[in-house]
Every structure is written in C-alpha cells, then in structure tokens.
C-alpha cells in the first residue's frame, strides 16, 4: 500500500497579486486542481456613461445644477462581478444581473428607457455600455474589452449572460462538470471588495472601496432545486454564503471543473446555477 503525499495532493492557500502583494485565498489549503482552476476566474466590469450628460458637463461647467447631476450615478456608473471562460465554446460566462440590475436602476432613478436588441441584450437608452474583463497578475491588471453575445430572457429566473472577446485573454478555459450531488464539497470562486465611508469636515460623506480581491470559499451542495417553469433545470443551494462580487464566478468541484455559476447569496447561504443550465444556454446561442 502506498501513501499519498499531502503536499502533492493540495495546492496553496496564498497567492501574489498586484497591487496588494501576498493574499490569502482561502481558509485552508485548496486541492491542487482547484487552486489551479481558480486562477482563471476574473473580474467583469460593466460601465455605463450618459453621452448627453457628458456633453452637458463639457459645455456647462459653470452650471452648478449640471455639475451636480454629472457627479451622480445617472451620468456615469459601473458595476463589477466575476466570470470565467467556458473551455469548449470559448464564451465568457457571467451572471445576467451584472447588466440587468444596473440598467433597471438607471430606468428607475434616471429615466432611462430600456431597449432589447435582436440578440436579447438589454440597453439603457442614451447610455454607452462597455464591458471589460480584468485579469490580475503579479505585476499589474490587464483589461480586455468584451461584447455581449446572448442573455437569458427577461421574465425567466435563469441568470446568465455570455460575452466574447476579439482579443486573446490570458487565462485558461474551464471545463463544465458532468455531474454533481448533494453533500459534494465545492469551492465558490470570485472577486470581492469592501466599501466603507468617512465624513469630511464640511459634513459630506466620502465613500472608499478597496480593490477587489480574488478568494475561494469552501462550500457544499445542500439541496438541488428545480425551477423548470421559470427556465431553470437545476439550481444548487450551498452551505455557506458567497461574498459580494462573486456573482458570475464558477462553483468548482474537486477536479477544478465548473459544477455551477454563482448567482445569489444572503447572510446564511448561497445558490449557483447548475452546469447543465450553463451547457443548455451555451448550446442555444446562435452562431454568427
């Protein structure tokens, strides 16, 4: 009988990234394949800019009301989530609400009109929408512009969106799992930041947000739910909550495969869309 070398079976729990330096990824050492797979999780950032308000700023800098409006989220805002590349298709996968929640907030608070293009992608009128993948390295963060290809329809519970990039993104694609079961140990991977604030002498509140940091939460599937009437085959309920910003990130199994995609979380538990639904969605995308 041969003994297994623990150091060979398990990877690290620390990594070096820019600009923070050394970070602790997880509470315990990760399985080697999980450690290697989570390196390929990245940030997806959605940026919204109102070109009409931008012109107002350029031509009316002395107008206090215009400047005040320009400094509001109605003029320019952004949101961040996590994502990964599905190996077989090459599509960049993330959570739909990265786009939808922000667009709907612009409609509610800024009067933007929501439109849907021929691919089912929603747009906020008068807003330029840009999406980028941000890849972290030990020496810097690299940005790559991406374009939405397909989005799960509004009116369905399915929370997924696919992008593509004209440039080669320097990460490896992750394979989808072929099975998952209740009780299986999994690993939620994504980026999270911390937001705080302090007051200035004049009484104004200043917000501060830390740089998003990649981390991994050891988890487990506690329940498999089905919402077929809402467009979902299977959704995994997980033992532990995810961190803010993990939406769209992969739920990895011990082999480093994608068992699901993180979608929702509260203070007690989190949920992930199953690998089956990711595959069905990818198969439904019309090729150009």
Q: Is 153 within the bounds of a domain?
A: yes
Helix (H, G, I), strand (E, B) or coil at 85: strand
Asked if 192 contacts 213 with a C-beta cutoff of 8 angstroms, the reply is yes
Asked if 191 contacts 213 with a C-beta cutoff of 8 angstroms, the reply is yes
Residue 5: CB atoms within 10 A of its CB come to: 8
Q: Is 111 within the bounds of a domain?
A: yes
The pLDDT-based confidence of 184 (bands split at 50, 70, 90) is very high
What is the chain's mean pLDDT, rounded?
85
pLDDT for the residue 1: 34
Q: Is 205 within the bounds of a domain?
A: no
The pLDDT-based confidence of 6 (bands split at 50, 70, 90) is very low
Residue 72: CB atoms within 10 A of its CB come to: 12
pLDDT for the residue 237: 94
Distance CA 258, CA 174 (A): 7
Distance CA 148, CA 131 (A): 8
pLDDT, tens digit (0-9, with 9 covering 90-100), for 159-173: 999 999 999 999 999
Q: Is 1 within the bounds of a domain?
A: no
Distance CA 18, CA 43 (A): 14
In the chain, the number of structural domains is 1
N-to-C CA span, the chain:
55
| Position with higher pLDDT, 63 vs 156 | 156
The pLDDT-based confidence of 53 (bands split at 50, 70, 90) is low
Q: Residue 248 pLDDT more than 80?
A: yes
pLDDT for the residue 139: 82
| Residue where the block lists tokens 């293009």 | 117
Q: Is 4 within the bounds of a domain?
A: no
Q: Is 207 within the bounds of a domain?
A: no
Q: Which percentage of the chain shows pLDDT scores above 70?
A: 86
Tell me, rounded to whole angstroms, the distance of Cα 206 from its chain centroid: 26
Best mean pLDDT range from 25-29, 71-75, 137-141, 208-212 = 25-29
pLDDT, tens digit (0-9, with 9 covering 90-100), for 104-137: 988 888 888 888 888 889 888 888 899 999 998 8
Residues 6+ apart with CB under 8 A from 182: 221, 222, 223, 224
Q: Is 220 within the bounds of a domain?
A: yes
Q: Is the dihedral of CA 172, 176, 179, 182 positive or negative?
A: positive
Helix (H, G, I), strand (E, B) or coil at 229: helix
Arithmetic mean of pLDDT, 225-251: 90
| 249 phi/psi in degrees, rounded to 5 | -80, 160
Distance CA 210, CA 243 (A): 14
Asked if 41 contacts 249 with a C-beta cutoff of 8 angstroms, the reply is yes
Q: Residue 61 pLDDT more than 50?
A: no
Q: pTM for the full model?
A: 0.84
Asked if 30 contacts 11 with a C-beta cutoff of 8 angstroms, the reply is yes
Distance CA 127, CA 52 (A): 8
- What is the residue range of 36's domain? 11-200+212-284
Asked if 281 contacts 150 with a C-beta cutoff of 8 angstroms, the reply is yes
Arithmetic mean of pLDDT, 58-79: 56
CATH number at residue 125: 2.40.10.120
The pLDDT-based confidence of 21 (bands split at 50, 70, 90) is confident
CA distances from 9 to 3, 30, 187, 214 (A): 11, 9, 16, 22
Distance CA 72, CA 70 (A): 5
Q: Is 6 within the bounds of a domain?
A: no
């Amino acid at each position: 009988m041969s003994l297994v070398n623990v150091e060979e079976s398990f990877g690290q729990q620390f990594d070096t990234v820019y600009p923070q330096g050394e970070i602790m990824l997880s509470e315990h050492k990760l399985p080697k394949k999980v450690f290697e797979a989570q390196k390929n999780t990245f940030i997806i950032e959605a940026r919204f800019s109102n070109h009409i308000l931008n012109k107002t700023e350029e031509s009316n800098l002395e107008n206090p009301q215009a400047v005040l409006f320009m400094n509001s989220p109605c003029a320019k805002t952004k949101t961040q989530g996590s994502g990964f590349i599905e190996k077989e298709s090459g599509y960049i996968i993330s959570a739909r609400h990265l786009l939808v929640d922000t667009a709907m907030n612009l409609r509610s608070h800024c009067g933007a009109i929501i439109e849907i293009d021929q691919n089912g992608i929603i747009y906020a009128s008068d807003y330029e929408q840009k999406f980028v993948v941000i890849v972290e390295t030990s020496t810097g963060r690299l940005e790559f512009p991406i374009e939405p290809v397909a989005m799960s329809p509004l009116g369905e519970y399915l929370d997924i969106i696919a992008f593509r990039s004209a440039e080669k993104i320097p990460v490896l694609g992750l394979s989808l799992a072929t099975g998952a079961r209740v009780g299986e140990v999994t690993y939620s991977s994504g980026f999270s930041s911390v937001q705080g604030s302090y007051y200035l002498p004049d009484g104004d509140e200043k917000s501060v947000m830390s740089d998003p940091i990649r981390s991994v939460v050891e988890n487990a599937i506690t329940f498999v739910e089905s919402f077929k009437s809402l467009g979902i085959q299977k959704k995994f309920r997980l033992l532990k909550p995810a961190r803010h910003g993990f939406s769209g990130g992969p739920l990895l199994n011990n082999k480093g495969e994608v068992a699901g995609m993180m979608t929702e979380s509260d203070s007690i538990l989190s949920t992930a869309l199953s690998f089956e639904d990711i595959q069905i969605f990818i198969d439904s995308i019309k090729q150009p």
